[in-house]
Structure 1
Amino acid sequence: MNVHIRIFPNRIYQCVILFLIISSIAVCAIADISNEISNILMYAIMFVLTAIAFYGVNWKKRHKLLRASPFPPAKAIIYPLLAILLLELIYKAILYFIGAGDMGAEHPKSYTALMLLSITLAGPIVEEFIFRGVFLRGLLTRYTPKTAIVATSLLFSLVHCNLAPEASMVSNVTAVIYAFLMGIIFSYSYHKTPTLLICALLHIVANTTSLAASAWF
């Protein structure tokens, strides 16, 4: 990433503020929407608002932002994929041994088709666009890769904090650590490739694997 070409958002506080604004608008917009389509609609709103903010502010640099990246080598996909599967296995094992289950969430077998689509496809695509395609991409133009990756992953993990009353402190901390490590994998993959497609595919695999494991156990 060319540090001489700064793009918005390129500071950590800018990422935090932008996310708070976008997520707040999305949550308010779906307040009276049925639960079945609320998640899909929320992701759609967040995607559109983020895209407008990102490409709107950086419009003069659009020719650099829209430049296609070469497809990465196989090892850039296989290694992160193995790390994701291993992390998922460890995470589910920890939840099993501490008796946390899915921390008060509905059982996957009760999910509707739209809810499954939200978890396995819409969520990963939109989250990768926001956290890697916008936040990490911007932070890499100002900070070192290590700082940008850690900052993005920390924000990503906090967003996945479970606020359900049924969630215990131990299970919640475990979930945040899990999300942080997943964020590290996704962010590192983007930094090394850099293509958002691979990150989205890895995220889809992670969510689908997690959902399948929850349904199985």
Structure 2
Amino acid sequence: MIEMLKNMKYRYLLLGVIFTLALSLILLTLLGVGSPYITAIAATLSLYFFPIGWIFYHFRKHHQSFRQWLQPTRFKISETVAAVIFPELLGIGILALITLGLILALPAGGFNELPETPATNWGLVFISSVVLAPICEELIFRGFVFNKMLTRFSPAKAVILSSVIFGALHLTTGISPTLVGMVLCVIFMKYGSLLPCMIIHGLHNLAVMLLKYSSSLSADTATATELLPADMQLLLIIGGIFIVIGLVWLVLFFRKNWHYAAEFMLRFHGAEEPLPNGAGE
């Protein structure tokens, strides 16, 4: 496994993604596919299907199997629910404070005139976000990216770096993807399987989708109003509470489960292999 991961170069993956994206956009345009769907289809092909196919090719080439990342395992429902809720609370809290800072920094009325949001096909959003994304993104980020980083870095560095990359590709959904990515890395090391990660990821995306859906319903009837000082104070209080709750849970979660990192390094990468510098940290 380690030798295979070392031979899988990031630059080839990146070049393949760019080529697939460009080719998809050209072909879909020539086929006359409607503009709302061109970007979504091209992004799915380049960001999901090509990387999964590329990883699968290397697995077959080195006589490996995805099943070693998808071992059935028992995991706690309470832990699953907590991993869905608390990182999102922390992310929402941080985002609330950032939003408050932007409101105070921008000229008065800067947030009053918002562009109209185009109609959303919630069925496609569900399939993409709750079904397709958790499966593909866990295989790509916790499976390939995280494991490959462990061939060079300590678990702590691999968790942070892979999660920052994961979060950078989800900037439109706020701060929480990076936090969720960190939690999912630990879950993967704890259970030695991506199945719990996929379930948590799917439930998290479902919760976010339902929040967006409820927001879109309220936005249809809401009228633009200026944010009053009392509202800003409430936003500050709620954001602070969410941050405290999320941080406390995150610290306790890592303190309770971080010892699985050393066990993971030995189990998945072989005790006979030299561990990366600081792997036991």
Q: Answer yes or no: same fold by TM over 0.5.
A: yes
Deviation (angstroms), 1:27: 2.9
- The answer as to whether partners of 1:157 and 1:180 remain within 8 angstroms in 2 is yes
Deviation (angstroms), 1:122: 1.5
* Cα distance in structure 1, aligned partners of 2:206 and 2:131: 9
Larger Rg belongs to: 2
Aligned to 1:47: 48
Tell me the SS of whatever aligns to 1:8.
helix
- The answer as to whether partners of 1:10 and 1:142 remain within 8 angstroms in 2 is no
1:171-186 matches, cutoff 5 A: 175=174, 177-186=175-184
Deviation (angstroms), 1:82: 0.3
Deviation (angstroms), 1:117: 1.6
* Cα distance in structure 2, aligned partners of 1:45 and 1:105: 29
| 2:17 is the alignment partner of 1:23 | yes
- For 2:88, give the aligned amino acid: E
Tell me the SS of whatever aligns to 2:153.
coil
The gaps in structure 1 that reach 5 residues or longer are: 163-171
- For 1:28, give the aligned amino acid: A
* Cα distance in structure 2, aligned partners of 1:91 and 1:142: 29
1:48-87 matches, cutoff 5 A: 48-63=49-64, 66-67=67-68, 70-75=71-76, 78-87=78-87
- The answer as to whether partners of 1:10 and 1:138 remain within 8 angstroms in 2 is no
Provide closer, same or farther for how the CA distance between residues 211 and 184 of structure 1 changes in structure 2, counting only shifts above 3 A.
same
- For 2:57, give the aligned amino acid: G
Deviation (angstroms), 1:136: 1.4
Tell me the SS of whatever aligns to 1:115.
helix
* Cα distance in structure 2, aligned partners of 1:90 and 1:142: 30
Aligned to 2:212: 214
Aligned to 1:153: 163
The gaps in structure 2 that reach 5 residues or longer are: 103-110, 216-281
Deviation (angstroms), 1:187: 1.5
Deviation (angstroms), 1:159: 1.3
* Deviations, residues 113-139 of structure 1 (Å, cap 9, x unaligned): 223321222122211121112111222
| 2:7 is the alignment partner of 1:7 | no
- The answer as to whether partners of 1:6 and 1:141 remain within 8 angstroms in 2 is no
Among 134, 143, 155, the residue aligned to 1:124: 134
Deviation (angstroms), 1:46: 3.5
Deviation (angstroms), 1:95: 4.5
- The answer as to whether partners of 1:10 and 1:135 remain within 8 angstroms in 2 is no
Aligned to 2:188: 190
- The answer as to whether partners of 1:40 and 1:114 remain within 8 angstroms in 2 is no
- RMSD of equivalent CA atoms: 3.4
Deviation (angstroms), 1:47: 3.4
* Cα distance in structure 1, aligned partners of 2:43 and 2:6: 22
* Deviations, residues 86-119 of structure 1 (Å, cap 9, x unaligned): 2223434555563699x97947x73242233212
Deviation (angstroms), 1:58: 4.7
TM-score, normalization by structure 1: 0.71
Among 113, 124, 142, the residue aligned to 1:114: 124
Tell me the SS of whatever aligns to 2:62.
helix
Q: Which has the higher contact order (CA 8 A, sep 6+)?
A: 1
**Percent of pairs with identical residues:** 20
Deviation (angstroms), 1:160: 1.5
- For 2:199, give the aligned amino acid: L
- The answer as to whether partners of 1:120 and 1:204 remain within 8 angstroms in 2 is yes
* Deviations, residues 17-62 of structure 1 (Å, cap 9, x unaligned): 3553243234324433432474255324433322343243454532
Tell me the SS of whatever aligns to 1:195.
coil
Provide closer, same or farther for how the CA distance between residues 192 and 89 of structure 1 changes in structure 2, counting only shifts above 3 A.
same
Tell me the SS of whatever aligns to 1:181.
helix
Provide closer, same or farther for how the CA distance between residues 115 and 41 of structure 1 changes in structure 2, counting only shifts above 3 A.
farther
